[in-house]
Chains A and B, each alone.
Chain A
């Protein structure tokens, strides 16, 4: 296999570039913290009791969010994937919306909601607020993971249970134990994302470990402490990933067009009304209420604020969209190369795990690593240009692209390639004519998701944006401290509208695309 890869220098080159530009800065930061930057013992003294208390609070906070999101997400998934409840097709898509909206938009929206309904934002600007907002953000992720597992359960296993027992046993004795890996994956991933999340606590003014690192680095210029705190958080993330890597690294939830064989749906009897209330209830809580109040608040002071907000954001439009586009291209290239590498080489698993680590590490922490590594005369051309942001995005989101394309590659039987090989079709032509068309939908989906995530990424952008650069999330964040709430709401509303517009545009672009490659998903 190794010999085969040499014939594909593009993959080797991409992976080498990924390891050098993306992973090395992280290793450099860790090494510097432990061995170079003063002595490790001296540095450890910087970690006081208060800091550990803050870390403990952040861990508890992340655990609560992970627990609530997993319970709610599993409940929603059971309703949507295992019952024939009405409007489930609509809710399957509508409930995913918060996942594709930058989390800070929801934070601003909920702040508006509390202002409109209670004329007081102190409750939302607390740990409660962070839990509320992040639970609504991450519940769709949990729903996606458990939903995918539910639709892959062989219906015969369920039928065998129903012949001897009731629906209650079916859920608690068969279905839930069978999707346990997905539930664990959901909990661990949501925990990691919550403990890594910077934008929501920052927007709500709540001090957690990631905001503390940002403050130490950017406000107090205490780089040693910030690096030490970052190292602590990196180690927690890596340890957690190591313990659950069996489930998470191979999680099949990020895939398109894979459906389980013979998935059964059940008629809801007693719980029908409860289910019918739960779905629109959660939809209202996670989508309708926050976005409606954000809309109302944006126009609270008439159109003046809206125009002002628009003028403030205009310089950031082109940069943000351009960077997100370039980032998405790089991410898809890296993700595809990693997925291909993984399917053709044993070392691919290492790359997959590296991608996962980069994905799980807090963006502020990763930002510090990149600054530490590239802030040298040799790398000044990277440090002072957009390249550092693109490296940041590639490190953060390549895991998603790799999973989406990797799962698509896995679905293609080897015989498709072998049949072409025997017919004398060259390796590069096999990639162009067989492999890529067959995974085109997944590549496109990976591009869209990477674009949207890069566009809304605050943690990486705020740490890395070069001087003089205007970026949408950074602009909203920096203006928030001194501007009236209605201006912040108007700016957020504009960012939300742009994001939704782009999602809609991609949706319509994807339609003919899907039509063209629809045969690719049919098994012969």
Chain B
């Protein structure tokens, strides 16, 4: 039984149809990769799950709760317990690293904020950057801040939109290992479903438990890494060649 279910999703931007009756599910506590070319609807899918966009029709169910149904949001984004790593990371440039991580906790009026933030800084190896501003960090360090900022709120779902684009291979490797171990982090509470968007199949193979290949808003193939590697679908074969 999938943890996140998308039933008959229809979505379009002005005249461009992105999804037409899309049916898709994501298993709990797994890393699922959405793989596909630019413009195939990967980011839109993440935004629909997060509640940042409303589909024209269809429903989205998280756990046992319907969060979106028939063009209306039943559960707003901040009540879905999701974390979102944006493609541009969206670190607030006027906040320090500490403040970027603490801001969400402050809004939720959590206790022991300072301790929690320092623990997150330690977990993600950012202790020495607490007072730095985002523009003073390297690309890899920014990714870690974005991860720490999301994880500190203990999300059940982590949505990641091409978070490693622009990083060199060494840093990619390091962060992929970190993402794979996120479930073991104290912040996840052993309950973390990750949906990871990428257009790089090597990245997907390295990180995913399951892969969904999307093209033109349609699921071309879905399955484990091995199943995708051996897929018969022409598009998937063509996509994996490069």
A93 in the interface (beta carbon within 8 A): no
Compute the total of residue contacts between A and B using a CB distance below 8 Å.
81
**A residues in contact with B79, CB < 8 Å:** 424
Contacting chain A: which of B32-40, B101-109, B180-188? B101-109
Give the docked Cα–Cα distance between A424 and B155 (Å): 12
- Tell me the residues in window 415-464 of chain A with beta carbons closer than 8 Å to chain B beta carbons: 415-416, 418-426, 429, 433-434, 437-438
B82-95 near A? 1/0 per residue, CB < 8 Å? 11101111111110
Q: How far is the CB of B143 from chain A (nearest CB, A)?
A: 11
Across the two chains, which residue of chain A brings its CB closest to B52? A418
B25 in the interface (beta carbon within 8 A): no
Task: Count residues of A near B (Cβ-Cβ below 8 Å).
Answer: 24
Give the docked Cα–Cα distance between A523 and B218 (Å): 34
Across the two chains, which residue of chain B brings its CB closest to A520? B94
**A residues in contact with B91, CB < 8 Å:** 524
**B residues in contact with A421, CB < 8 Å:** 52, 77-78
Task: Count residues of B near A (Cβ-Cβ below 8 Å).
Answer: 27
**A residues in contact with B104, CB < 8 Å:** 420, 423-425
Q: How far is the CB of B142 from chain A (nearest CB, A)?
A: 6
- Contact: B103 with A422, CB < 8 Å? no
**A residues in contact with B118, CB < 8 Å:** none
Give the docked Cα–Cα distance between A78 and B88 (Å): 34
B163 in the interface (beta carbon within 8 A): no
Known contacts A423-B78, A426-B107; is-contact A519 B133 (Cβ 8 Å): yes
B50 in the interface (beta carbon within 8 A): yes
- Contact: A520 with B93, CB < 8 Å? yes
B109-138 near A? 1/0 per residue, CB < 8 Å? 000000000000000000000000111000
- Contact: B83 with A522, CB < 8 Å? no
Give the docked Cα–Cα distance between A413 and B93 (Å): 11
- Contact: B90 with A418, CB < 8 Å? yes
B236 in the interface (beta carbon within 8 A): no
- Contact: B103 with A433, CB < 8 Å? yes
- Contact: A437 with B107, CB < 8 Å? no
Q: How far is the CB of B113 from chain A (nearest CB, A)?
A: 13
A517 in the interface (beta carbon within 8 A): yes
**B residues in contact with A429, CB < 8 Å:** 107
- Contact: B78 with A437, CB < 8 Å? no
**B residues in contact with A520, CB < 8 Å:** 93-94
Name, among A422, A425, A433, A524, the residue most crowded by chain B CB atoms within 10 Å (CB to CB): A422
Contact of B84 among A422, A438, A523 (CB under 8 A): A422
Q: How far is the CB of A442 from chain B (nearest CB, A)?
A: 14
B9 in the interface (beta carbon within 8 A): no
Across the two chains, which residue of chain A brings its CB closest to B161? A415
- Contact: B94 with A523, CB < 8 Å? no
- Contact: A524 with B142, CB < 8 Å? yes
- Contact: A519 with B90, CB < 8 Å? no
- Contact: B94 with A438, CB < 8 Å? yes
**A residues in contact with B87, CB < 8 Å:** 415
**B residues in contact with A517, CB < 8 Å:** 94
**A residues in contact with B153, CB < 8 Å:** 423-424
Known contacts A420-B103, A422-B84, A429-B107; is-contact A522 B134 (Cβ 8 Å): yes
**B residues in contact with A416, CB < 8 Å:** 90, 92
**A residues in contact with B94, CB < 8 Å:** 437-438, 517, 519-520
Give the docked Cα–Cα distance between A524 and B141 (Å): 11
Give the docked Cα–Cα distance between A426 and B107 (Å): 8
**A residues in contact with B89, CB < 8 Å:** 415, 524
Give the docked Cα–Cα distance between A425 and B135 (Å): 23
Across the two chains, which residue of chain B brings its CB closest to A423? B104
Give the docked Cα–Cα distance between A433 and B106 (Å): 12
Contact of B90 among A419, A424, A521 (CB under 8 A): A419
- Tell me the residues in window 196-243 of chain A with beta carbons closer than 8 Å to chain B beta carbons: none
Across the two chains, which residue of chain B brings its CB closest to A417? B90
Give the docked Cα–Cα distance between A420 and B135 (Å): 19
Across the two chains, which residue of chain A brings its CB closest to B83? A422
Across the A-B interface, the 4 shortest Cβ-Cβ residue pairs: A423-B104, A415-B90, A424-B78, A522-B135
13 residue pairs bridging A and B, Cβ less than 8 Å apart: A415-B87, A418-B86, A418-B90, A420-B92, A421-B52, A422-B77, A423-B149, A424-B104, A433-B103, A438-B94, A519-B94, A519-B134, A520-B94
- Apart from the given pairs A413-B90, A434-B92, A519-B133, 11 other A-B contacts in the complex at a CB distance below 8 Å: A415-B87, A416-B90, A422-B84, A424-B107, A433-B103, A519-B93, A519-B94, A519-B135, A522-B134, A522-B135, A523-B135
